[in-house]
Structure 1
Amino acid sequence: MVKFLIHRPIAVTMAFLAFLLIGIATTVQIPVSLMPDIDIPVISIRVPSNEMPARQLENSVVKQIRSVLKEVNHIEEMKSETRDGTAWIELRFKHGTSIDLASIEVNEKVDKAMNYLPREMKRPEVIRASASDIPVFYLMVNKKQELITGNKEEFLQLSNFTSQVIRKRLEQLPEVALVDMSGLQYPEIKITPHAAYLPNGTFTISQLEQELNNNNIDLGNLLIRDGQYQYNIRFNTRLRDVSEIAEIPVNLNGKVVSLSEIADVSLQPQKPQGNIKINSESAISLAVIKQSDAKMADLKDELSELVGYFKEDYPELEFTITRDQSKLLEYSINNLGQSLLIGGMLAFLILFVFLRERKAPWLIGISIPVSLLLSLFFFYLFKLSINIISLSGLILGVGMMIDNSIIVIDNITQYRDRHFTLSRACEVGTNEVIRPLISSVLTTCAVFIPLIFMKGMAGALFFDQAIAVTIGLSISLLVSITLLPTLYRLFYSKAKQEKQKRRKDPGYYRWYEHGLKVVLRNQAATIVFVILLLAGAAVLARMLTTSRFPEVSQDEMVLKIDWNEPLTLEENNKRVNELMASLTTKPLYFIEEAGKQQYLLNSGEDAGTTENKLIVKAESPAGLSKMIKEFSTYFAGNFPAADFSFAEADNLFNLAFGKSDAPLIARFSHFNPGNKNYLDELSSLLADLDKNYHNSLQSKLITRQLILLETDPEKLMFYEVDNDELYREVKSAFNVNTVFTINNNNMFVPVSIGNSYQSVYQIIQNIQVRNQNNEEIPLSGLVKVNSGSGLKSIVAGKENEYFPVEFEINPGDFKTVSADIKTIAANHSSFDLTFRGSILSNRAMLTELLMIIGVSLLLLYFILAAQFESFVLPVIVLLEVPIDLFGAFLALKLFGVGINIMSAIGIIVMAGIIINDSILKIDTMNKLHDSGYSLIRSVMEAGHRRLKPIIMTSLTTILAMLPFLFQKGMGAELQQPLALAIIGGMLLGTLVSLYFIPMMYYLLRKKTGTL
């Protein structure tokens, strides 16, 4: 085949040019995203119930739903959290589960659970998590500082304007799927009866409700026939605005008056359950969610242009784009691209230094972009996107692409040096390395196959990397054995054809041959040294920390605060302002999400007015670390009872893999969590844990105080007071008595009856309830006022309700700490104990990775045994892998990196790359020995022939990885452990391939005579 192709350079060149044009055309159609387009195996269920306290909601509703959901297939983890008036359940499924089918099954189970729930209960909402759910931008809209007057109606107008104008203009962009909003203020029509009329019995709340309902009637349509015609007649007396409500006629002791004469009727903002502020200024947040097939760059350009128009059209408003996910993508992709360019240029320089020819490096310079463009064409065919995972796979492939080209060019050059004609050198030199090159490509691809079978999202994500490497290597192999020899003959065809003098070998050849002789003469010492390296690798493995993923530097974080006091929303905001004012390291901006948020796609729990979520953007990761320390110091000194935690800002990476757990989580399950002593027992348990682990204990007992109004049935019967009438009066007193809702300017506005009382004490003392005899009975004589407390949040899982206690400990202390916790738990016999946490999950991950490495080595053995037709030679090659682990572990230890998924993948990749050198060397030694060379001469000659390509291939791979060590951003930092493992393993592996493998070949072949 090679002989046929090298004599048809025009046909070969045109064929590749045609594919290149197709590749260039398809590159613009390949989607660019931060992460691969995969299903997130998470489904959330939101359970709304505004009237139930947490304990009642847990026992009567959430427990029933959880029980039914246990029947859903492939659930890996279930977690629910119940609060007053709301609950949410999160289901995380096993990787590979069809989320479409799982969503249908979950909905069916929720429908089934409705049979066991209270009749007035609304159907729970089932929310399917998706990568497209993460907003790519947040647009904050607020009044400029100098225009804020403190008028309540001003922000109400801003809310209406943002919802009706700004949101709709954003959703007109073709790249935008949805604009989700929070921080809006909604209006309500408040009717507050004058104090002079209610106490004297002139009229009651029930009479007022009746008058309102009588004047808000819609009888629908009547169809009336008149001869041959028929007409629709509509009877409509519905109220439309506040002025019509104020003019409602009311019968006041036989006298007809308007409602405005006996009550204040006003349009005012509803009492907010939460708000949003940016840099302490009230704002409205618009979360921009892109279409799944839209390009991030196009959306960013369109949004930036539109925001520019907003600033011109509405100069009194301030528009700020925050939490820009496109910057993360752009930064990561640019850094990876820069690493690709720098690595390629360094490798190119290496070729000039070692080949000492002007033309040969340019051949490789042609083969790399050709291979890359053809690889992108196959990306399009396999429907892969360009993301930080697939792009890193391509960068790995670039080093191996160069390796294949170096081996082919160097082998052709060696045959030319041995006085072969140009055509014959191209033919024989290429044919000789085709078989070992195919074997090398297969072994490298084989190490990636087990990665696909990793559990969880890691296996799904790194499928892209495996496919990218496989595509890159396969294309590179095709280019190396077809295009390269053709271009080599074309480049050198005009060179002088006289016999070439054998070039003088560089000095490093003599150093190598001297070193190889020393190793062959001291085989026992060499074996002992290798055993020491294996022991060192085992020691380093125990010293390295394990984690799920490498730490990625962040300049943005989330601070979650629960003040653990029954605060109002205003006091919550005030405390946050004081907190931010105390910082010496100022953020670029901070966004405050206090209380309950209004986002439609908010699948998490609903916060109360005592909670706050701060999104803080720092100038640098170092600045963020300083702020975290200042926050911790401030809370310890000013609010020691407050519960606070730090978390990473939401992005696609966090959504895909889930938030990281605490190192150790002790789950305490009580046999009867509903009894009255539960909180006391829990408090006693936490106090005992705090004595032993005060510094590492991260959990606090968060409770909420309750005021219980209990009606006295005997007094209600004695005074002939109707329960409904009492309930109606109390609701009005607490400003929650909504009569109906009107449609005003495309907005639903509730109409409610309230009063001006400021405290519970005033309500109890001043409210009068009219009985069936038209007598006014004081509320204080009908109800008992008690106080109580309960858990603010009730957490449960598959094993039912439990209380999680988090510990921040080192992995090495797990055995001691867990034993102590078991001892403490044994003294509290009401509790059962189970353990969770990142330490346990990381151990499971490490076990899985060891199995994957074992499977990879087994696959490599099968491929090598098939190539060499030997059971012994593959063992010699694979001996290199455990030795090289010392280099990989040492590099990780020196740079302070532990064992994680990325470093483990680096080790697997290194194993696939480094044995390629040994494969070529053993293949050459076999051919030389079979052709009549003595054993020692075949070992020395093979070492001489393969020295330059081994050094060049190792250096090019190492240099392709080197830029990762100095780049920043998620893309580069995610790949740094992988690069360190490859660089450390390759440095040691090169020496092993040059010295130890030939020695083992010589030793075994000398003793057995045949392999």
Structure 2
Amino acid sequence: MKLVNTSVKRPVGVIMIVLAIIALGVVSMRSLTVGLFPKIDLPIAVVATSYDDAAPQEIENMISRPIESAVSSVEGIQTVQSQSQSGSSLVMMMFENGTNLDQALLDVRESVDQAKGFLPEGAGDPSVLRFSPDQLPVMWVGITGDDPAALTEIANDQVVPYFERQGGVASVTVEGAKEREIQLILDPAKLQQYGINAQAIMQALNNTNQSASVGNVEKGNKDLQLRVTGEFESVDSIRNTIIQTQSGATIHVDDVAEVKDTFKESSTVTLVNGEPAIVLSIMKKTDANTVEVAENIRESMDEVSGDLPSDANLNVIIDTSEFIQMSINSVAKNILIGGVISIFILLLFLKSVRATIVIGLSIPIAIISTFTLMYFTGETLNVLTLGGLALGLGMMVDSSIVILENIYSYRKAGHSLFDSATKGASELAPAVIASTTTTLVVFLPIIYVEGIASDMFTPLALAVSFSLIASLVVAVTLVPMLSSKLLSKAMEYNGRRYWFDRFLDKVNNGYRGVLKWVLKHRKTTVFGTIVAIVASLALIPLIGASFIPSSDQGQMEISVEAAPGSSLDYTKQIVEQVNNELTDYEDVIETNYVSVGGGGFGMMGSSANQATYTIQLIPSSERTKTTKQVVQEIDEDLEGIAGAEIAVKATDSGMGTGDPVQIQLNGPQHEVLRELSIQVVDRISTVDGIYNPTSSADNGVPQMSIEVNEEKAATYGLSEQQITSQIQLRFTGQVASKFREEGNEMNVVLMFPEDKRSTINDLRDMKIQSQSGTSIPLETVATLKQVQGPVTLQRENQQPQMNVTSQIVDRDLASIVEDVRAELETMNLPEGYSYEIGGQAEDMASSFRDLAIALVFSIFLVYAVMAIQFENFLFPLIIMFSMPATVVGVMVGLYITGLPLSIPAFIGVIMLAGIVVNNSIVLVDYINILRRRGIDRYEAILEAGPSRLRPILMTTLTTILAMVPLALALGEGAEMQQPLAVTIIFGLGISSIFTLLLIPVVYTLFDDLTGKITRRKKKA
């Protein structure tokens, strides 16, 4: 080939090009974005709306339903879900894969804008946002000290602005901060004494606390603007605000109210390792490098700490970049180990350091070139793309091995170094290109794969493809050039016999003997192969299936939910009990961060009866137990805590795959769904492998329903709104005005003393002021009734819904789901009610369907490439018989290692479709070459088999052994590639044996069949 000749004739040019590629690759590698997983763009949009103090039923009818109806017509929407809880609504839209989400968000905003007119007065403006795993915090930083108020000021004025200026930081959210406010605690007796009400105080405050421009006057040749300044200058000015009584007298605010400069009553409490703290959660920009952002924050912490008071301390609570770095380092270490193993195998076979260097150079050049191509295609450096490099490591040298072996053959035949390099490389370059192409084309059907499987498959496929393309170019250019310059002595036979040569001779002789036997017993060989395949398929039920292997990131979550309506103080008591139990795990817990009273998603309201722990364990290499084992032990210890439902689970952040088992119950009535969900939890709890099943149903929050009698209220000149306003002022307070001090703005809030607004009797004894100024008991115009109200109402596709979710342990997902489905089938659901199984189980089924289609297309493309190479339909068909045998290796490998069939394993099967045929191509191609030289078919097979055994063993062993570190799951984050590596190791290993024995038999069978057909045609 011209490319080969040019590279051998112009070595300097080749070397300069290689150096340029290396330099570009190094620059590209430093510029690549680093992450744990590839960017997963979940097609989800969210509309969040608030409506203060409204009950869930009102939120559902007045907020959620109108928004659901408005957005349902947006093109591309697959599912619309809503959650309605007290004071807030959340509507989530899941779009079909392939939807242009940018355009879809514009359509959603237009639809929501049109629906605003149907929302009640007082409802907040709906916020439309795009949900992405990138919106999760990358780091949590805690500020601890003695004075929470001072810490809040430090966080808001110093730390947060400084952090937000750092590179890659999008925003910083403060949790657990104290919010300053001016409280006017009203004295009911004084109000009655002076004959004024809260509205009069509010009016006086607003009239006093305002500034306005009132015109201009001339002074000489200038205009002076006239401005009346009346804003509050201090808290004392609020106390001294004048109020006019109905009798015309004047009093001050502090005559009827106690003015307190204090902090707003907190609805949440944050604790770090059991101590109160202010927590900063740091979000990165979408295109920012997680590791780089974390490094920037750590550096800025060192800088800003010097400006803080001595009693204020900054500490990293959780840093997600640590696991990313450990995972990247472990995969890089596996690549290095695999590379060393490959080099050792080459040295063993080639017996020459120079020859090993010639081939070994293809590994670093291919890897560096891959980094360049990844940079220009926008891929990130993560465990999957690096895993792709590790998987392709052994295959990188395959082309170079085949080329060098042929160059060596020509050299032994007496040709010069130049002729050996050019003729040897040119002769096999087409076959090498074809064999590499068969490996590459299996990745083309990725266009038919969608969802999580595509997000995982595409980066890995690109990494492997880039590395193979680069190694192919090296094989047909750099290897011939270096062979012509460096291998003069390496190719000279000096008569010495190495122990490995003697071993290979024995293997060759043994293989020749077995090959003779299978050629004499062709039917037995074919029948034995079929039996082996059928027997391996029988292992499928024992292997099972799962979605994606979870990485042991050392993160876990504990959710504490006390009875609905429980106070914050009560929840804190439960948390203290949990903390006491966690002291037994101090040796494995690195950080323990709990938010008490926080709840909901994003803008969803907080719940005083809930607490959420985020726990970071020490790295897996420093502990003897896995995260799942620690989770189960803690869960058992917490079972003894009464008064709350406590669930413990391991978190696997980054993939956004949800719970393994998620059962969606649908029907027309929320109450019926609530009962059904409780029954479902009881039923599936008996299934082996189900762990911590929970229902989204709840017992309901206790509510005091106040029903205003409008006719009675009208007789006193009162409306329902006026009565509601007075009750709200009495029990929640009301913002009367704003107070600004040194650039900070805070609320001035009217409220009643706590001992006047804390019990039911306070409500029953409450007096309502009429328009005439008289006071009447609340029960005169309203009926009080205690009821149980729902906490959250869920809907999907404009129909009520209830979810039951569960974690799984000790069994594969597919078999658990099968048993769960069998249990659900025995339930007699009422008419109009149904269930669906979603979560990871649904994603797994969908991904397996897509990957199965991709596998079929891959096999067809491999056949098409070989048909083009051989310009024959028969020989590719013979070669394709090496594929069924891979089933034996895959099933046996997964069974031995105890791994279920998962998406990575399925991707390994697809890759095998392009890998296993390479050895067959080499073997069949050489048989044809010998037969064209006039050698008998039987002799050609007996000569081609043993002579091609050496390169086949080299390529197979380098590919298999380079993946052993990944198959052993060494280091953090290696669990993702383990099934893929195991699949390829066992599939390729077993397939190679069948290739060496079965393909020659199939070759003779098809050759005999072709001969019979040809003779018949001649006779005809």
TM-score range, shorter chain: over 0.9
Distance 1:389 1:620 in 2: 20
Instruction: Tell me: CA distance 1:838–1:700, structure 2 relative to 1, closer, same or farther (3 Å).
Output: same
Alpha-carbon contact 1:585-1:623 (below 8 Å) kept: no
Contact 1:187-1:269 at 8 Å conserved across structures: yes
- Pairwise CA distance, 1:446: 0.6
Equivalent residue, structure 2, for 1:142: 144
| Distance (Å, rounded) in 2 between the aligned partners of 1:890 and 1:372 | 31
Q: Structure 1 stretch 895-904 or stretch 835-844: which is displaced more? A: 835-844
SS at match of 1:862: helix
Equivalent residue for 2:824? 821
In structure 2, relative to structure 1, the CA distance for the partners of 1:591 and 1:575 (3 Å cut) is same
1:626-775 aligned at under 5 Å gives the runs: 626-634=629-637, 636-639=639-642, 642=645, 644=647, 646=649, 648=651, 651=653, 653-654=654-655, 658-670=656-668, 673=669, 679=671, 681-682=672-673, 684-686=675-677, 688-689=679-680, 692-695=683-686, 698-699=694-695, 701-702=697-698, 703-721=700-718, 723=720, 725-758=722-755, 759-775=758-774
1:19 Cα shift? 3.1
Q: Which of 898, 908, 911 is the equivalent residue of 1:909?
A: 911
Quote the offset at 1:901 in angstroms.
1.2
- CA displacement at 1:412 relative to structure 2: 1.3
**Residue 232 of structure 1 aligns to which amino acid in structure 2?**
Q
Contact 2:544 2:815 in 1 (8 A): no
Match of 2:950 in 1: 948
Moved more, 707-716 or 548-557: 707-716
Kindly state the Cα deviation for residue 524 of structure 1 after the two structures are TM-superposed: 1.8
- Contact 2:536 2:887 (8 Å CA) reproduced: yes
- Structure 2 match to 1:789: 788
Distance in structure 2 (CA, Å) of the matches to 1:495 and 1:824: 76
Q: Which amino acid aligns with 2:389?
A: L
1:488 corresponds in structure 2 to: 483
Q: Which residue of the partner structure matches residue 532 of structure 1? A: 531
Distance 1:308 1:482, change over 3 A: same
Tell me the secondary structure at the aligned position of residue 34 of structure 1: coil
Q: CA deviation at 1:104?
A: 1.1
Matched, 1:50 2:52: yes
Give yes or no for the alignment of 1:416 onto 2:414.
Answer: no
Q: Which string of whole-angstrom CA distances, capped at 9 and with x for unpartnered residues, describes residues 575-628 of structure 1?
A: 112112123323222111222479xxx646434111121101223562643442
Q: Return the TM-score normalized by structure 1.
A: 0.92
Alignment-derived partner of residue 974 in structure 1: 976
Within the candidate set 121, 124, 127, 2:123 is matched to: 121
Task: Identify the residue that residue 459 of structure 1 maps to in structure 2.
Answer: 454
Runs (5+) with no aligned partner, structure 1 = 149-153
Is the Cα contact below 8 Å between 1:733 and 1:763 reproduced in 2?
no
Counterpart of 1:454 in structure 2: which amino acid? V
| Cα gap change, 1:23 to 1:713, in 2 (>3 Å) | closer
Partner of 1:508: 507
Structure 1 CA distance for aligned equivalents of residues 179 and 144 of structure 2: 16
Counterpart code for 1:229: K
Q: Does 1:281 align with 2:279?
A: no
Superposition deviation, residue 308 in structure 1: 2.5
Aligned partners of 1:237 and 1:86: how far apart in 2?
A: 37
Q: Which range moved further: 186-195 or 539-548?
A: 539-548
Shift of 1:684: 4.7
Give the SS at the match of 1:644: strand
What secondary structure, in the 3-state scheme, does the structure 1 residue paired with 2:585 have?
coil
Tell me which moved more, 193-202 or 459-468. 193-202
CA gap of 1:871–1:725, structure 2 versus 1, over 3 A, is closer
Q: Distance in 1 between matches of 2:647 and 2:493?
A: 81
Take 1:419 and 1:1004, find their aligned partners in 2: how far apart are those partners?
37
CA distance in 2, matches of 1:48, 1:700: 21
Equivalent AA in structure 1 for residue 150 of structure 2: Q
Compared with structure 1, are the counterparts of its residues 4 and 632 closer, same or farther at alpha carbon in structure 2 (3 Å cutoff)? closer
State yes or no: 1:41 paired with 2:34: no
CA deviation map 1:146-177 (0-9, x unaligned):
xx3xxxxx322321221111111212223433
Separation (CA, whole Å) in 2 of partners of 1:399 and 1:965: 14
Find the counterpart in structure 2 of residue 544 from structure 1: 543
In structure 1, distance between residues paired with 2:18 and 2:680? 70
- Structure-1 residue corresponding to 2:99: 97
Tell me the residue number matched to 1:1004: 1006
Q: Give 2:473's aligned amino acid.
A: L
Amino acid at match of 2:270: I
Task: Tell me the residue number matched to 2:690.
Answer: none
Moved more, 19-28 or 440-449: 19-28
Supply the distance in 2 between the matched residues of 1:19 and 1:606 (Cα, whole angstroms): 55
Q: Which residue of structure 2 lines up, in the alignment, with residue 891 of structure 1?
A: 893
Q: Distance in 2 between matches of 1:496 and 1:409?
A: 11
Structure 2 letter corresponding to 1:668: N
* Preserved contact between residue 327 and residue 973 of structure 2 (Cα < 8 Å): yes
Partner of 2:865: 863
RMSD (Å), alpha carbons: 2.7
Mapped pair 1:426 → 2:421: yes
2: CA distance between counterparts of 1:564 and 1:379?
Answer: 52
CA contact (8 A) 1:430 1:481 kept: yes
Q: Does the C-alpha gap of structure 1 residues 692 and 11 become closer, same or farther in structure 2, counting only changes over 3 Å?
A: closer
Q: Which residue of 2 aligns with 1:216?
A: 209
| Equivalent in the alignment of 1:381 | 376
Whether 1:347 aligns to 2:350 is no
> What one-letter code is carried by the residue in structure 2 that aligns with 1:411?
N
- Number of aligned residue pairs: 986
Task: For 2:268, give the aligned amino acid.
Answer: G
Q: Give SS of 1:51's match.
A: coil
Query: TM-score, with normalisation over the residues of structure 2?
Result: 0.91
CA contact (8 A) 2:665 2:673 kept: no
In the alignment, what sits opposite 1:243?
236
Residues 475-500 of structure 1, C-alpha deviations (whole Å, 9 max, x = no match): 11111111101101101346797998
Give the AA of the match of 1:324. D
Name whichever of 154-163 and 481-490 sits farther off: 154-163
The aligned runs of 1:65-464 (5 Å cut-off) are 65-130=67-132, 132-143=134-145, 148=146, 154-200=147-193, 202-220=195-213, 222-225=215-218, 228-251=221-244, 254-314=248-308, 315-464=310-459
Deviation at 1:646, TM superposition (A): 2.8
Letter of the structure 2 residue corresponding to residue 506 of structure 1: D
SS of structure 1 residue aligned to 2:190: coil
Q: Which moved more, 1:329-338 or 1:69-78?
A: 69-78
Identity among equivalent pairs (%):
25
For 1:745 and 1:330, the matched residues in 2 are separated by 43
SS at match of 1:882: coil
Deviation at 1:799, TM superposition (A): 4.8
Structure 2 counterpart of 1:165, one-letter code: Q
Q: How far apart, CA to CA, are the structure 1 residues paired with 2:491 and 2:845?
A: 64
CA contact (8 A) 1:419 1:499 kept: no
Secondary structure, aligned partner of 1:698: strand
Mapped partners of 1:768, 1:640: distance in 2: 36
Asked if the contact 2:438–2:865 (Cα under 8 Å) also holds between the matched residues in 1, the reply is yes
Distance in 2 (alpha carbons) for counterparts of 1:499 and 1:725: 108
| Aligned equivalents of 1:386, 1:805: Cα separation in 2 | 37
How far apart are the structure 2 equivalents of 1:817 and 1:41? 28
| Aligned CA distance change for structure 1 residues 13 and 770 (closer, same or farther; 3 Å) | closer
What does the per-residue CA deviation read over 1:88-143, in whole Å, with 9 as the maximum and x for residues that have no partner? 12222233322221221111111121132224322210112345423221111121
Q: Which moved more, 1:53-62 or 1:32-41?
A: 32-41
Change (3 A) 1:293 1:624: closer
CA apart distance, 1:992: 1.3
Give the letter for the 1:333 counterpart.
I
Which whole-Å CA distance do the structure 1 matches of 2:860 and 2:213 have between them? Answer: 77
On the 8 A contact 2:318/2:591 being kept in 1, the answer is no
2:704 aligned counterpart, secondary structure: strand
